[in-house]
Structure 1
Amino acid sequence: MRGTCPRVSLGRVRGRVHRRVTGRWKFVGRLVGRTDVELRHELFSVRGRSISWLFPLALLAVIAVIDVTTGAFQVISWTVLVPGIAAAICGVWTTAGLGVLAVCVYLLADLVWQDHNHTGLPGLVLVLLGSVIAVVASSVRVRGEERMLHMRDIADTTRRTVLRPIPQGWGGLDHAAVYLAADTEARVGGDFYDIQLGPHGTRVLIGDVQGKGLGAVETASALLGTFRETGYYEADLLTVAERLDQRLLRHRQHTQGLGYSGGDGDRFATAVLVGFSDDLPDAVDAVVFGHEPPLVVGPKGVRRLESEAGLPLGMADIAPSVLPPVCRVTLARDETLLLMTDGVTEARDPEGRFYQPAEDIVRALAVDPDGVVAPQRLVALVRDGTLRHCRGLLVDDTTIFAVRRVVK
């Protein structure tokens, strides 16, 4: 049964056109979600080749030149800094080589190049001991990084399993998505999205599982599995919604039976379910489970999708037989549906103000009304705007998902 949906109007956000997002925040957008190890490797690499050894080598050369050219300072013992710095940014063998080089430079400077007082054996022991400690520290660091990268690979595999890649044009939809994990080491959280093609049309789902950690990932995986099956076989979108709600309840009962802790006992999920059909070329069906209503972006402006929000998924035991209605709303072919999780809408600036993506979109539309509605452009615009607003400090996992019918 379809419900009567109230009309929700966003209105136009007025104001003169601001300058576009700077390259700084586009660059930050590419860095978010990467580990410290990856960022350090990129920082000390040129065309894929590491140049980290240049920095300790340059320091060694500076120390040697200062020691040779001046007699006012005995700085040759500072060569102990060279393997110490190498231990932080170089590999084990590079650190060992720079340690040996530091010892050799010390001996040359102390025994051959100097006319003033020698630092002698104590300085040599200091450099030798520092080099040995640096090699050990480098070995510990490299092993830790290898374990971290291995865990990263496992997390990436999990993410690809839960959030499977979606082919372009899948189900007759042009789409783009970006997922930014608030925890850069986790790389995957409770946000989920997918497109399912079937004999009854194409269904789109986006959602956010309450909580974090592996429990949230497991819940998201269970919901996506149900969506991929029922979204294909069920003709009625309301039936798909009911199955999703029941699946979360059964999943919660299962985790409780296993004795899992950590919030699984009351876990819920907000979600938006959208149905595209060839029989409705200028409209879509939508069900909103306590989620932020999607935005509809077109060359003429921005508006909220007309919908009636219901309770989140997993609340049927509190309010049985109460599901949000299926709303049939207008969506023109030149309009793009923008779906976001609360990582976008809850992003705050240093003054505590929430991010308003519609304002950025309206400004961009004033400059390029036809280009902004493309899903790839729209997702990039909101991603950069979110990172700019919160200064790159995400407090929650963030998913931005844009879909529209393929423009022929």
Structure 2
Amino acid sequence: MEYGRRRGPLLRIRGVSVAWLPPLLLLVGVVLLDFNTGEKFRIITWIVLVPGIAAAICGVWTTAAYSVLSVVTYVLVDSAWPDQYQAGFGDFLLVALGGTLATLAAVVRVRQERYAGHMRDIAETTRRTVLRPLPSRWAGLEHAGVYLAADVDARVGGDFYDIQPGPHGTRVLVGDVQGKGLGAVETAAALLGTFREAGFHETDLRTVAARLETRMRRHRAHTAALGRDDGDRFATAVLVAFPEGTTDAIDVMNFGHEPPLAVGRLGVRELPAGDGLPLGLGDLAGGPPTVHRVRLATDETLLLVTDGVTEARDKPGEFYQLAREVSRAVRADPRRAEPRRLVRRVRDGVLRHAGGCLEDDTTIFAVRRLSGDAGTSGAAGAGGAAGWEAPGAGGSGAGRVQGG
């Protein structure tokens, strides 16, 4: 496969690869200079750079073709000079050896790129398994979310979020697993799997919370039995229910997580803080946290973030002031309370505040009820047992806003 097909816009013109052009221009330039610098300063040997440049930006066969072309061009150009001014057989060997090494280098580079692409595909599959794509309008809700991985290559970490509609209303879960690496990813996947089942089947939100707590403990016990050092892992989370028949209130359970914000045209309100312990530590508190019934108007957006947002620091070490920045943005333009615009505004603000360097995984998730016919159609789209698990149409990605 030609590497030029996978390069960025600098090596494409109207979608057509031009990776072959720089080596060709260099070859022509060397030939012209050799004929114009005179017999006392021959530079035809510089043609060895041509396959070297091709090896960096072209595919294997293109590099091999330039290697052969460089040798043939060297012979033709050098033979055009009188015998006493010819570069000679030694430089011919240099050009031939350079072309051979360039071709081998291209082989190694292309293999590494294919391996890297394969690993990116695996990371993308893992991300889509943990953070499944969600329709932008789902079960009467409009949402937008963005996930920024501190490890850009990993693309997924311990942050998680999901929406689960069901016969008892729609539930939303946003959380952050303590620690990093594959262990955090596995824990997030375990909690999300439990949430998707319990959020659908269980009538009481407290029962959903109890199932999540039990799953966290079972997962820890399993990893400990495998000899892994995950015995103290826990997860902060916010569990939200949008009850059926209620249009101006939600139920919130906070497991030691950042308090959600209600963002509307009139300003920003902070909802109840985390009065419960994180998932996995519930036995220390004697039970799950309190279920808070709080007001959320139809035109208000619920904003949930992980600590990658609130703990983002600038160069002087100041934390990002989420509520203050969101309030300022909404006052300047009330339309920024819409989920997609709100998520984009927070994402850009955090990246700008941190200078583009995030030290922790960062999730920004915004959701609000759809009003009128849109809300009805959104709920209808999730109707029926099969409809609750319909495949998502939207795409999520590290750094890309998901949702409508």
TM-score for both structures, normalised by structure 1: 0.84
Q: 1:385 to 1:70 in 2, by over 3 A?
A: same
Mapping for residues 326-405 of structure 1, pairs under 5 Å: 326-369=291-334, 371-405=335-369
Q: Is the 8 A contact 1:355 1:386 kept in 2?
A: yes
| Residue 113 (structure 1) shift | 6.0
Q: What SS does the corresponding residue of 1:274 show, helix, strand or coil?
A: strand
Specify which of 79, 90, 94 is matched with residue 58 of structure 2: 90
Indicate whether 1:65 and 2:38 are aligned: no
Q: 1:397 to 1:153 in 2, by over 3 A?
A: same
Q: State how far apart, in whole Å, the 2-side matches of 1:179 and 1:402 are.
A: 12
| Residue 218 (structure 1) shift | 1.2
> Match of 2:326, as an amino acid?
I
| Residue 110 (structure 1) shift | 2.1
Mapping for residues 231-246 of structure 1, pairs under 5 Å: 231-246=199-214
Q: 1:77 to 1:350 in 2, by over 3 A?
A: farther
| Residue 123 (structure 1) shift | 1.7
Mapping for residues 56-205 of structure 1, pairs under 5 Å: 56-71=23-38, 73-112=41-80, 117-205=85-173
Structure 2 match to 1:45 = 12
Residues paired across the two proteins, number: 369
Q: Is the 8 A contact 1:68 1:114 kept in 2?
A: no
Q: What SS does the corresponding residue of 2:279 show, helix, strand or coil?
A: coil
Q: What SS does the corresponding residue of 1:202 show, helix, strand or coil?
A: strand
Indicate whether 1:230 and 2:195 are aligned: no
Specify which of 238, 251, 263 is matched with residue 285 of structure 1: 251
| Residue 372 (structure 1) shift | 0.9
- In structure 1, the gaps of 5 or more residues are 1-36
Q: State how far apart, in whole Å, the 2-side matches of 1:391 and 1:366 are.
A: 25
Q: Relative to structure 2, which stretch is displaced further, 306-315 or 38-47?
A: 38-47
Mapping for residues 16-31 of structure 1, pairs under 5 Å: none
> Match of 2:286, as an amino acid?
S
Structure 1 match to 2:232 = 266
Identity of aligned residues (%): 61
- In structure 2, the gaps of 5 or more residues are 373-404
Q: Deviations over 1:151-180 (max 9, x none)?
A: 222222222121111123212100011122
Q: State how far apart, in whole Å, the 1-side matches of 2:329 and 2:366 are.
A: 16
Q: Is the 8 A contact 1:307 1:327 kept in 2?
A: no
Q: 1:141 to 1:166 in 2, by over 3 A?
A: same
Q: Is the 8 A contact 1:340 1:399 kept in 2?
A: yes
Q: Relative to structure 2, which stretch is displaced further, 219-228 or 231-240?
A: 231-240
Q: 1:82 to 1:377 in 2, by over 3 A?
A: same
| Residue 50 (structure 1) shift | 2.2
> Match of 1:151, as an amino acid?
M
Specify which of 217, 232, 238 is matched with residue 185 of structure 2: 217
Q: State how far apart, in whole Å, the 2-side matches of 1:172 and 1:399 are.
A: 22
| Residue 208 (structure 1) shift | 1.1
